[in-house]
Amino acid sequence: MREQSHTRRRRRTPVYLGVFAAAAVILAACGDAEQNALDPAGPFAQAPHDLIIPVAWIALAVFIFVQGLIILSVVRFRTRKDDDGSLPKQIHGNTRLEVIWTVIPAVILAVIAVPTVQGIFEVMEEPEDYLTVEVIGHRWWFEYYYPDYDIYTANEFAIPTDRPVRLEMTAADLARSPDLGVIHSFWVPRLAGKQDLVPGQTTFLNIQADEPGRYLGQCAEYCGVSHANMRIRVEAYEEADFDAWVEAQTQPAAVPADGTVEAEGRDLFLELGDGRLACASCHQVWEGDGDRAPQQGPDLTHLLSREEFAGAIHDMTEENLREWLRDPDSMKPMQYEVNGIGMPNLDLTDDELDALVAYMLSLD
Ligand SMILES: [Cu+2]
């Protein structure tokens, strides 16, 4: 009997070793991550962080205590050579023990609940002197609107350092696009916790960065085929640099001079012909007339001011833009033909591609 269990255990050991090795490799990837909630960069990320750490220590103490007891009993009550094979003393229920192991965790949880609930209210509160940025979750990209400056942008957005920014968030619904309204979640771990974007509702999230720099995040609520291709980039600038960014973004797009290939691209952008949807029916390039307005696709007025496109998954290079216009689905699965979501393949000819890419590259 004992022999048998011994051989079985020996044969299984390599499997466990494999699992541990895999876990070690996967966990090693967690080091040096840019999306690291354990490396808060502002007060709204600091508050939850200051709770996570003591709670983790308490959890570690409980873990060591419980595992210690398990190891102790395994060693202390193991089968010995002189064992006569009889069953150990059978115990069914022990009221005192059960009360103890119910009351202690209940007390720990009750104590942790006090600063947790307090902290939730604190980070949700409307801060003083904040900047408002409206966030709309689309499949599969984030749109940003600054009501104070009438700026639209996508994927990447700028904030001033040392000033709270209050995000007023919702998700696109049928009123805005054929998006069919799904829930997304905004998560930039170094700036704040997660908050859902819900169609037809407004949710709020405060973020703030103490130091200038780039803070990365992504959609954290499964929202369809390109959920994993829906990233967030926050550029935090010192006040003067932020003002310069605002100044640049509020400028209308330059209209290319007549007779240039860029001007040809602009004509195609407004009117593609052959019954194809115009780019301008989904995208805006604001040239200074009237108000800017939300569209089905990202605002392209200052496309080149962003370093990445399509949910911030591709570098803003000529080759990438060309491939995007030639066959968007090859760059990011959207299945426009199936559900009308995302960017369609417009069967552009090589000449049309040349002109449109030149025009896109002029939108700085
Ligand atoms: Cu999403």
CATH code assigned at 63: 2.60.40.420
Distance 229 CA to ligand 1 centre (A): 9
Å from CA of 157 to ligand 1 middle: 17
| % of residues, the chain, pLDDT over 90 | 74
For residue 78, the tally of other CB atoms under 10 A from its CB is: 8
d(CA 233, CA 304): 15
Last residue of a domain, one of 237, 271, 299: 237
| Tokens coding 65 | 């205590």
Do 212 and 265 fall into the same domain?
A: no
Distance CA 216, CA 200 (A): 26
298-330 pLDDT per residue, tens = 999 999 999 999 999 999 999 999 999 999 999
Q: How far is the CA of 143 from the centre of ligand 1 (A)?
A: 12
Is there a single domain that holds both residue 228 and residue 268?
A: no
Q: What's the CA-to-centroid distance between 230 and ligand 1, angstroms?
A: 6
Q: Could you tell me the distance, in angstroms and rounded to a whole number, from the CA of residue 311 to the centre of ligand 1?
A: 10
The answer to whether residues 229 and 306 belong to one domain is: no
* Beta bridge partners of residue 213, listed in sequence order: 236
> Looking at the 3D structure of the chain, how many domains does it have?
3
Residue that has been written with the tokens 């989904």 in this structure: 282
Identify the domain boundary among 237, 270, 296: 237
Predicted confidence (pLDDT) per residue in 62-80, tens digit: 999 999 999 999 999 888 8
Evaluate whether residue 225 is within a structural domain. Answer: yes
Centroid of ligand 1 to alpha carbon of 228 (angstroms): 8
- 223-279: per-residue pLDDT in tens? 999 999 999 999 999 999 999 999 999 999 989 999 999 999 999 999 998 889 999
Q: In terms of domains, do 72 and 21 share one?
A: no
Distance 34 CA to ligand 1 centre (A): 20
Query: Ligand 1 mean position to 196 CA, how many Å?
Result: 9
- Rounded to an integer, what distance in angstroms lies between the CA atom of residue 230 and that of residue 314? 11
**CB 355, CB 261: distance < 8 Å:** yes
7 & 57 share domain: no
Q: Which helix (H) or strand (E) holds 44?
A: helix 43-76
pLDDT band for 125, please (50, 70, 90 cuts): very high
Domain range for residue 321?
A: 261-361
Domain assignment present for residue 100? The answer is yes
Q: 223 CA to middle of ligand 1, Å?
A: 5
> How far apart are the C-alpha atoms of 147 and 145, rounded to whole Å?
6
CA of 182 to the centre of ligand 1 (A): 8
Q: 17 and 149: one domain?
A: no
**Phi, psi angle pair for 57, to nearest 5°:** -65, -45
Q: Which of 237, 253, 288 is the last residue of a domain?
A: 237
Same domain for 17 and 114?
A: no
- Per-chain residues with Cβ under 5 A from ion ligand 1: 184, 219, 223, 230
Q: What is the pLDDT of residues 25-41, one digit of tens each?
A: 777 666 556 888 889 99
- Are 290 and 182 within one domain? no
Residue 201 DSSP code? -
- pTM of the shown model: 0.86
